[in-house]
Amino acid sequence: MGEDSVDGLIVGHRLMAAREYELALKFYTRSAAEQGITVDVLSALGSANLMLGRLGQAETLLRQATEKDASFAAAWNNLGVVLIERGKVAEAARVFRVAFGLDSGKTDSIRDNLTLALAKAENISYDDPDKATFALMRRGQGDYLLLAQQ
What is the mean pLDDT of each successive set of 10 residues along the chain, which is 150 residues long? 69 95 96 93 96 96 97 94 94 95 92 92 60 56 54
What pTM does this model have? 0.78
Proportion of the chain in helix, strand, coil states, percent, rounded to 5: 65, 10, 25
Q: Give residue-wise pLDDT tens across range 81-119.
A: 999 999 999 999 999 999 999 999 899 999 999 999 999
Neighbour count for residue 124 (Cβ, 10 Å): 10
Query: Residue 136: what pLDDT?
Result: 58
Q: Which CATH code is given to the segment(s) 8-149?
A: 1.25.40.10
b/e code 71-106 from CB counts within 10 Å (16+ = b): ebbbbbbbbbbbbbbeebbebbbbbbbbbbebbeee
